[in-house]
């Protein structure tokens, strides 16, 4: 179900612009009210992702719509043509989540980024550590206003217990002066198992000296704020640090993915596979590895062109990613060759899964330009925990050769067939496709 955004705006042109930008960029449903009376009709809903509110409406005093929505549990973003210090302070008193200036320099991209931030924040857990219930509650309230998932801790030992139980926490905001240990000591303990590019720590303190800020940073914090901090500063620092985490994660993820198909690449196969093999040995659980190769793929390129070949590879990748089943991780090893790694599956289950993939691909019609193509693939697999991941890969590869040699479009598992005919890898390369 699409997220919904409430737009309260008396300008038809501005409302149309906001609606068009949000729907095209974020695929959200937009509900528009042009008057305070219309806003009242929608105010009973609590399922809006956010509300964009014009400060001045023709049928109500300035700010009335903000008051109407402030306690509804979702972020309220004020869109105003005027931004004075008095208006700014009024907005924070009314507990808005953000404000935007509607002038000739208004850039809808910032609005899109902010609403997108609210969407992603629902999956981001933040730990707030402060022995003052008032400050802790204030900080947590600011975070919840931007839809972060907040966990509170009143002392360092409680914070460490939270992190041990919940590795999904992405950020900690910690005070300096606390019982048991100060915030810098807590930062060092939190940083031992969590790198800066994976976990953000922001220190806060009422002590205004530069030394406290430096101590936090040297202890492993990503950032520091002096108390009392304004909501503006708070949201800017928290948002920028979370965006940094997301950017680093996106860069890392891109380096592990095959550009054409979106599957994990050969490099990541070895990282994931070696770890899975170690787990299987230690826990004495099952692990299976399978390879598949598109049959006669060169003929697809020769007959229909490389664009059609690329369409086939993407279709095969999508199918195996969606149909390989629980515990499976899929990779493109290169060319028309793919790999499926399945944790917790033995030989019988592997055979069933591969037969399902084989039949699904055989039945699939693949659009390629003005043509519809049909292809098949051959599969080879093993469930024997060999000496190394390379040994498992070679065993699956040998079975794949046997599947090709015995007619293609079939599944061969280690131990289920006679040894492949004796020929070298180089000699069989030409007949493999």
* Backbone dihedral angles phi then psi of residue 366, each to the nearest 5 degrees: -115, 115
- Tokens coding 431: 């007949």
What is the SS3 assignment for 397? Answer: helix
Rounded (5°) CA angle 250-253-258: 125
DSSP letter at 375 equals -
Per-residue model confidence (pLDDT) at position 301: 92
Q: Single out the residue of 259, 269, 257, 264 nearest to residue 397, CA to CA.
A: 269
Per-residue model confidence (pLDDT) at position 104: 66
CA-CA distance, 384 to 416, in Å (whole number)? 12
Per-residue model confidence (pLDDT) at position 274: 95
Could you say which of 98, 336, 337, 343 is catalytic? 336
Per-residue model confidence (pLDDT) at position 103: 67
- Tokens coding 79: 């869109």
Q: Are 114 and 77 in contact (CB under 8 A)?
A: yes
CA-CA distance, 270 to 279, in Å (whole number)? 14
Whole-number mean pLDDT of the chain? 90
Per-residue model confidence (pLDDT) at position 213: 92
* Backbone dihedral angles phi then psi of residue 69, each to the nearest 5 degrees: -105, -10
Give the residue ranges of the chain where pLDDT is below 70. 1, 83, 103-105, 208, 416-433
Domains and CATH numbers, the chain: 4-105 (3.40.50.2300), 122-255 (3.40.50.2300), 266-432 (3.30.70.270)
Q: Is 197 among the catalytic positions? A: no
Per-residue model confidence (pLDDT) at position 105: 65
Q: What is the dihedral of CA 184, 186, 187, 192, to 10 degrees?
A: 130
Per-residue model confidence (pLDDT) at position 46: 84
Q: Are 162 and 153 in contact (CB under 8 A)?
A: yes
Q: Are 367 and 349 in contact (CB under 8 A)?
A: no
Ramachandran assignment for 73, one of left (phi > 0), alpha (psi -120 to 50 degrees), beta (any other): left
Per-residue model confidence (pLDDT) at position 84: 72
The residue with tokens 């770890």 is 275
Q: How far is CA 353 from CA 4, 323, 328, in A?
A: 39, 8, 10
Helix ranges (H only) for 70-201 are 85-93, 108-121, 133-145, 156-165, 183-191
CA-CA distance, 143 to 170, in Å (whole number)? 13
């Amino acid at each position: 179900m699409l997220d919904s955004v409430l737009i309260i705006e008396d300008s038809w042109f501005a409302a149309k612009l906001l609606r068009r930008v949000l729907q095209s960029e974020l695929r959200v449903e937009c509900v528009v009210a042009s008057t305070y009376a219309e806003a009242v009709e929608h105010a009973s809903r609590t399922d809006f992702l956010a509300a964009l509110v014009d400060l001045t409406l023709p049928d109500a005093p300035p700010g009335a719509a903000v008051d109407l929505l402030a306690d509804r549990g979702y972020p309220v973003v004020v869109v105003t043509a005027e931004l004075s210090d008095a208006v700014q302070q009024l907005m924070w008193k009314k507990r808005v989540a953000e404000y935007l200036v509607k002038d000739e320099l208004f850039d809808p991209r910032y609005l899109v980024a902010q609403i997108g931030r609210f969407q992603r924040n629902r999956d981001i857990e933040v730990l707030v550590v402060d022995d003052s219930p008032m400050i802790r509650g204030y900080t947590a309230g600011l975070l919840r206003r931007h839809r972060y998932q907040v966990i509170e801790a009143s002392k360092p030992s409680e914070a460490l217990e939270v992190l041990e139980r919940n590795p999904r926490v992405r950020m900690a905001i910690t005070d300096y002066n606390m019982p048991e240990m100060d915030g810098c000591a807590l930062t060092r303990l939190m940083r031992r198992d969590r790198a800066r590019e994976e976990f953000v720590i922001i220190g806060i303190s009422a002590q205004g000296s530069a030394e406290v800020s430096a101590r936090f940073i040297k202890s492993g914090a990503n950032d520091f704020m002096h108390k009392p901090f304004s909501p503006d500063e708070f949201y800017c620092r928290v948002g920028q640090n979370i965006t940094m985490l997301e950017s680093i994660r996106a860069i890392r993820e891109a380096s592990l993915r095959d550009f054409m198909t979106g599957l994990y690449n050969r490099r990541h196969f070895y990282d994931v596979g070696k770890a899975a093999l170690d787990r299987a040995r230690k826990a004495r659980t099952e692990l299976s590895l399978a390879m598949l190769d598109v049959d006669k793929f060169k003929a697809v390129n020769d007959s229909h062109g490389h664009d059609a070949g690329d369409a086939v590879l993407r279709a095969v990748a999508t199918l195996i990613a969606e149909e390989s089943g629980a515990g499976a991780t899929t990779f493109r090893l290169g060319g028309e060759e793919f790999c499926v790694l399945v944790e917790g599956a033995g030989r019988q289950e592997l055979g069933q899964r591969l037969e399902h993939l084989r039949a699904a691909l055989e039945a699939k019609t693949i659009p390629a330009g003005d043509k519809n193509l049909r292809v098949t693939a051959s599969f080879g697999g093993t469930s024997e925990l060999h000496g190394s991941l390379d040994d498992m890969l070679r065993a699956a590869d040998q079975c794949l050769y046997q599947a090709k040699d015995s007619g293609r479009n079939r599944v061969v598992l280690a131990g289920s067939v006679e040894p492949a005919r004796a020929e070298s890898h180089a000699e069989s390369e030409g007949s493999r496709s």
